[in-house]
Amino acid sequence: MTKEKKMVITIPREELMSPGHLACQGCGASLAMRLALKALGQKTAVCIPACCWAVIDGPFPYSSLDIPIYHCAFETAASSASGVKAGLEMVGETETTVLAWAGDGGTFDIGIQALSAAAERNEDIIYACYDNEAYMNTGIQRSSATPLGAWTTTTPVKHYKKERKKDIIGIMAAHEIPYIATASVAYPEDLVRKFKKAREIKGTRFIHIYAPCPVGWKSQPEDSIKLAKLAVQTGYFPLFEIEDGENWTLNFKVKERKPISEYLKLQGRFRHLKEEEIAIIQKEVDTKWEKTLKKCGL
Amino acid sequence: MKKVIMGNHALSYGAMLSRSQVIAAYPITPQTQVVELLSEMCADGTLEAKFIKVESEHSAMAACLGASLAGARAFTATSAQGLALMHEMLHWASGGRMPVVLGNINRAMAPGWSIWSDQNDSLSERDTGWIQFYCSSNQEVLDSVIQAFKVSEKLMIPSMIILDAFSLSHTYEVVEIPEQEKVDGYLPPFKPPFRLTTEEPHAFGGLTSPDHYMELRYKLQKDMEKVPALVDETGREYEKIFGRRLSQVDDYRCDDAELILVTSGTAGYTARVAVDELREKGIKAGNLRIRLFRPFPFEKVRQIVSSAPKVAVLDRNISYGHHGIFYQEVKSALYGQTAKPTVFGFIAGLGGRDITKDHFKEIVEYALSKDKAEEEIVWIGVKK
């Protein structure tokens, strides 16, 4: 008799995000929020700065989330969340998880000063960055999270992005905060597990979520999950955790990485790249992957 | 209990007695002693509050607003460049109706670097929807913090307590420190009608279409218009408990004055010395010190200056391409009124240059010798 394999459902059924939100088709950021809130539960207050989510939530007087939301200024996700946490503690609400939920622009660029300061103070907040690799809410302008080779409206094809994506994980790891993780909407069990784990840890926790954006990436909405999977399978966006700034764990061991070209060719933002340019990107991914493996002790 | 304290510490005591629950601040000269004392108070338990030591004034205000939205009483203090860096968040505070109280030490804006006093920092923020109180003594600084929390929390509009750099911030004066019990009787705990809580989830500050935005601003203005009466009401209540009245303006020998010197901040006290000396020489001078600048105390100003034939406004600030800012405001208060005193505008003391009683005598002499203002700005003590 063959042994029966039972599937265990680890993602809570409870929904804290309603339909009727304003996200585009195939939006990774909206799926990320839905999953994150399933993990964190209703005793969560969120600070959302200027980013796609400032719109996705829905216009006044509506909201698609069943948790309290503070729509804060662009560069203040971390500082606002610090204040909310302190304020809630002073009024006796010590159990509420305070979540800062920002895009890559609000994290890698304009919000990095406040984020670094909050991490240095080890504020008791979860900071989640959903990374769609450009200023998508304002119409696809490059951010420091935009990858090498990508087209955006401010890095036109004739002058596509020549710089590497900023190493936000390296920056956050240097702060030696208790918990850092990367997560992807294509791996919901992993994402939910990480948010659940983060919820139980005190201090600053940083979760970097890969969030496809069909509009900005010139990809098909139905390819969002496929792209998110490929990002992991090519080693472009490895899934790992860092505890106390130094203990790295690779969560998804890719035995044979797929070539980066498979990932790039599904996205119009890379359409202009020639073979030799793709080879450069491949080399970049390889180097980074090796570094990650080394840090994870593999 | 009486204590000899500096103006900056008067702010700290005011914040402590108001039982501030969250303080977030960043150091800047000449504000530092405000937050140094508060951090000591937080550390030794004199004040039960969380002190968030942020990396910038922008984050200081952002953290205060987060705390305020969560339902905690929040306080911060800054000066000049720091206040300018906060600018975006000042709009956020009033627009989001978060009644934070901020102490601002009036310091001139760079460049060139100056740590000395003038009012261009706070007056650049006059249209951000904050209540502004300009103080002229350390006692008034302390009392104003307590009153400001009361006014702000009643109307859900933030307040700025403003004092001159050095001539008040670092000057030691005798200050009556009120008893905590009495302050608690005057200022009840902060209980906002809505707050950020999982017990009753709301979205604050979300995308607001043209269908709704204007009404939110209309309501802010309507509540701003309630401030002058509330300042008088809470000021009288303050007098009953503490023996000191807090008003929109403070007038001195204005009743029969031929010329009223309009001032703000510490220059008011200097003006009074000049007024007394001029009176001894038979010149009927008076002084109107404007304490509440935003919202502007139109009625009070009209009531007091209308009886005088001449008014001389002293500005320690300038709106480049226009005039001194208090001068503009006083003129606008008198426009279309039946009684129209001749109003003169003087600018002095920028970047911390002293304003002395002799300057006021010069101002009085000028104003009494002219039938009308020949120029919109009369510069006092400028090396041309």
Query: How many C-alpha atoms does A283 have within 13 Å on its Cβ side?
Result: 6
Residue B210 touches partner A, C-beta closer than 8 Å: no
Q: Are A90 and A168 in contact (CB under 8 A)?
A: no
Residue range A270-286, pLDDT digits in tens: 999 999 999 999 999 99
Task: Please tell me which of the candidates B22, B55, B209 has its beta carbon nearest to residue A86.
Answer: B22
Q: Is the pLDDT of residue A2 over 80?
A: no
Residue range B263-279, pLDDT digits in tens: 999 998 899 999 999 99
Task: Please tell me which of the candidates B74, B206, B212 has its beta carbon nearest to residue A63.
Answer: B206
Task: Please tell me which of the candidates B53, B62, B208 has its beta carbon nearest to residue A72.
Answer: B62
Using 50, 70 and 90 to split pLDDT, how confident is the model at B334?
A: very high
Q: Are B105 and B99 in contact (CB under 8 A)?
A: no
Q: Are B183 and B176 in contact (CB under 8 A)?
A: no
Nearest CA in chain A to B64: A83
CA distance B334 to A243: 67
| Structural domains present in chain B | 2-242 (3.40.50.970), 249-379 (3.40.50.920)
Chain B residues with CB inside 8 Å of A101's CB?
Answer: none
Chain B residues with CB inside 8 Å of A42's CB?
Answer: 198
Chain A residues with CB inside 8 Å of B196's CB?
Answer: 45, 68, 70, 84, 87-88
Which are the contacts of B45, defined by CB distance < 8 A and separation ≥ 6? none
Q: Is the pLDDT of residue A245 over 90?
A: no
Question: Burial code of A256-271, b = ≥16 C-beta within 10 A, e = fewer?
Answer: ebeebeebbebbebbe
Which are the contacts of B121, defined by CB distance < 8 A and separation ≥ 6? B79, B80, B81, B83, B84, B104, B106, B107, B108, B109
Least confident of A3-17, A77-91, B150-164, B360-374: A3-17
Nearest CA in chain A to B197: A68
Q: Is the pLDDT of residue A39 over 90?
A: yes
Beta bridge partners of A131: A210
Please report the pLDDT score of residue A246 as a whole number: 87
Smallest CA–CA distance, residue A55 to chain B, in Å, is 6
Percent of chain B with pLDDT over 90: 97
Residue range B67-123, pLDDT digits in tens: 999 999 999 999 999 999 999 999 999 999 999 999 999 999 999 999 999 999 999
Chain A residues with CB inside 8 Å of B201's CB?
Answer: 63, 65-69
Residue range A55-103, pLDDT digits in tens: 999 999 999 999 999 999 999 999 999 999 999 999 999 999 999 999 9
Please report the pLDDT score of residue A183 as a whole number: 98
Chain B residues with CB inside 8 Å of A90's CB?
Answer: 21-22, 49-50, 67, 70, 72
CATH of domain A28-295: 3.40.50.970
Q: Give the dihedral of Cα atoms A218, A222, A225, A230; nearest 10 deg.
A: -60
Please judge whether A91 and B54 are an interchain contact, meaning their C-beta atoms are less than 8 angstroms apart.
no
Please judge whether A76 and B208 are an interchain contact, meaning their C-beta atoms are less than 8 angstroms apart.
no
Q: Are B327 and B313 in contact (CB under 8 A)?
A: yes
Residue B66 touches partner A, C-beta closer than 8 Å: yes
Please report the pLDDT score of residue B354 as a whole number: 95
Please judge whether B92 and A73 are an interchain contact, meaning their C-beta atoms are less than 8 angstroms apart.
yes
Mutation target vs B (from A15, A52, A76, A97; most B CBs, 10 A cutoff): A76
Q: Is the pLDDT of residue A9 over 80?
A: yes
Which are the contacts of B183, defined by CB distance < 8 A and separation ≥ 6? B17, B18, B19, B146
- How far CA B82 is from CA of A106, B61, B89, B206, B280, in Å, comes to 22, 10, 12, 27, 44
User: Would you report the helix, strand and coil content of chain B in percent, each value rounded to 5?
Assistant: 40, 20, 40
Residue range A128-187, pLDDT digits in tens: 999 999 999 999 999 999 999 999 999 999 999 999 999 999 999 999 999 999 999 999
Residue range B209-229, pLDDT digits in tens: 999 999 999 999 999 999 999
Mutation target vs B (from A16, A66, A72; most B CBs, 10 A cutoff): A72
Task: Please tell me which of the candidates A85, A87, A114 has its beta carbon nearest to residue B59.
Answer: A114
Chain B residues with CB inside 8 Å of A116's CB?
Answer: 55
Packing angle between helix A112-120 and helix B57-69, nearest 10 degrees?
70
- Residue B53 has a CB neighbour count (10 Å cut-off) of 17
Task: Please tell me which of the candidates B22, B49, B205 has its beta carbon nearest to residue A70.
Answer: B205
Please report the pLDDT score of residue A1 as a whole number: 60
Chain A residues with CB inside 8 Å of B128's CB?
Answer: none
Please judge whether A91 and B208 are an interchain contact, meaning their C-beta atoms are less than 8 angstroms apart.
no
Percent of chain B with pLDDT over 70: 100
Give φ, ψ of B361 to 5 degrees: -65, -40
Please judge whether A83 and B89 are an interchain contact, meaning their C-beta atoms are less than 8 angstroms apart.
no
The ipTM of this complex is 0.97
Q: Are B308 and B254 in contact (CB under 8 A)?
A: yes
Residue reference for tokens 């807090």: B246
Smallest CA–CA distance, residue B124 to chain A, in Å, is 20
Which are the contacts of A60, defined by CB distance < 8 A and separation ≥ 6? B203, B206, B207, B208, B209, B212
Please report the pLDDT score of residue B268 as a whole number: 87
Nearest CA in chain A to B59: A79
Mean pLDDT value of segment B238-246: 98
Mutation target vs A (from B48, B51, B59, B202; most A CBs, 10 A cutoff): B59
Please judge whether B212 and A84 are an interchain contact, meaning their C-beta atoms are less than 8 angstroms apart.
no
